Chains A and B, each alone.
Chain A
Amino acid sequence: MITEINQHIKAGVVFDNNNVKPKWFIWNNRKYIIKKITYTWKTNQGEAILIHFSVTDGATLFELCMNQKNLEWTLEKVSTE
């Protein structure tokens, strides 16, 4: 079941060979360690490029989004079985 969240989050990120890899994020005062980035894709919002990440902590699938212009991170969706 997919739930839309669309809340700003704090994210810990590694910049590796021109790639951005989120490693953890904090949502509702809880820290989630990202075990795997399953997919990435880009969209545009005006001038801003948004990079979307489908990630899992091993139990739950999350969709995160990074705004390249203002470097804000958003938790867009949560998917639970």
Chain B
Amino acid sequence: MNRTILLIDMNSYFASVEQKCNPVLQGKPVVVCGYGRTIVVTASYEAREYGIKTGMTIPEAKKLCPNVIIVYGNIDKYIDTTLKIHQILLRFTDRVEPFSIDECFMDVTDVEKLFGDGLTIAKKIKQLIKEELGLNCSIGIGENKIIAKFASKLKKPDGLCKIEKEDIKNIFSLLSVRELQGIGIGKKIAEKLESIGILTAQQLGDANLDFLIKHFGILGYHLKKIGQGVDDSPVKIYDDKNYIKSFGHSHTLPTDTYDLNIIKSYILLMSEKVGVRLRKENMLGRTVSLMIRYEDFDSFSKQYTIKHYIRTGYEIYKIAEKIFNQILPLKKAVRLVGVSISNLIQDNKQPFLFNRLQKYYQLADMVDSINSKYGEFTVKPASLIIAEKFGILERCGIIGTSLIKK
């Protein structure tokens, strides 16, 4: 059966929210960046006309547009707005799957009889988001997620584009593999495909499977399907937790540092935040990943899987610390610290054999109970004070999609 999948993509999201908050910014070149830091997180469309892009430094942006207005981001504002957008989408169907803070898939196949075809529903969604939140979005429509996502990129801002099944082959014959970036193919994969002579989406779809597997391993199956515009993955139901694969938090330090006490304090802070979310979702994990970004934006990332499942910040920290010790002594100052946990299962609250562990986990639950009543980190490990004194930027963390659902 043919599906109708929508991808809703908010245009220049953070900058648009700030322009809505402060009407004086409307129509002006605006960039949103982290407090005290100098990387452009989002640029308004007016700023983009000057060539300003995400990832650029503020000095670079100012060279291109001396009048650019810099706004420090407020992630709480954007999360709340995202949740409001989800509530609008849920008026049509419960098959709403957040893809990122500013993108969402919808499967409207089963509700077309109620609300009209995909185009009608998409127009209504655009109208509601504009009326209720004052924001623009681009919507792509296709028979699967890959096509819908690709369609959403074709007309920006405030676009609406549907790609029919019969047009997929023609369109993909003209697409370069670089244009598939963001639709299941990253920059490095696109570069590697070009290096082995696969330049277009059609060539990717027609490529010999054994050849792709030889160069990309098991990813080769997935890449071939992308090249053919084939994607059978369903759009999950909004409250479905089954797809949560990991929880992670990262934080950009107020200034780059070599100080190990400070860096370890931040690793503990991130580990504690991950532990809180893990327990909130009633889950356990056993693969801990640590990411360190240096002052020159070079990164180190490694993961470690243990034999048993864990759920507390301290347990996560001990593994992250073990990974961190492997890169000592530091050759460059550290700019960002990130910790995540994956390999997740539901916590069925099985009693422990050893009383000490049982009490330790009960303590974590009690701390959660106090902090949920009085505020995050009302009760916290003492060594977090080191990070607090160094400086916690207004909001810390990468937001996993599980956090941007009510």
Residue in contact with A61 in the complex, picked from B22, B77, B374, CB distance below 8 Å: B22
Question: Would you call B23 and A38 a contact (CB within 8 A)?
Answer: yes
Segment 19-60 of A: residues with Cβ below 8 Å from B: 36, 38-39, 41-43, 45-48, 52, 54, 56
Question: Would you call A41 and B81 a contact (CB within 8 A)?
Answer: yes
Question: Would you call B375 and A79 a contact (CB within 8 A)?
Answer: no
Question: Would you call B76 and A81 a contact (CB within 8 A)?
Answer: no
Any A CB within 8 A of the CB of B306: no
Do most interface residues of chain B lie in helix, strand or loop, or is the interface mixed?
A: helix
Any A CB within 8 A of the CB of B17: yes
Question: Would you call A46 and B375 a contact (CB within 8 A)?
Answer: yes
CB closest residue in chain B, given A42: B80
Q: Name the interface size band of chain A.
A: 10 to 19
Report the minimal beta-carbon distance from A4 to chain B, rounded to whole angstroms. 10
Any B CB within 8 A of the CB of A2: yes
CB closest residue in chain A, given B394: A4
Against A, the Cβ 8 Å flags (1 = close, 0 = not) of B9-29 are 000000001001111100000
Any A CB within 8 A of the CB of B378: yes
Residue in contact with B22 in the complex, picked from A43, A45, A54, CB distance below 8 Å: A54
Question: Would you call A61 and B24 a contact (CB within 8 A)?
Answer: yes
Residue in contact with A46 in the complex, picked from B21, B77, B378, CB distance below 8 Å: B378
Report the minimal beta-carbon distance from B393 to chain A, rounded to whole angstroms. 13
What 16 additional pairs, Cβ within 8 angstroms, besides A39-B17, A41-B76, A79-B22?
A: A36-B23, A38-B20, A38-B22, A38-B23, A39-B20, A41-B80, A41-B81, A45-B375, A46-B372, A46-B374, A46-B375, A46-B376, A47-B373, A47-B374, A61-B21, A61-B24
Q: List 28 A-B contacts (CB under 8 A).
A: A2-B72, A36-B23, A38-B20, A38-B21, A38-B23, A39-B20, A39-B21, A39-B77, A41-B77, A41-B81, A42-B80, A43-B76, A43-B80, A46-B371, A46-B372, A46-B373, A46-B375, A46-B376, A47-B374, A48-B375, A52-B76, A52-B77, A54-B22, A56-B23, A61-B22, A61-B24, A79-B22, A81-B24
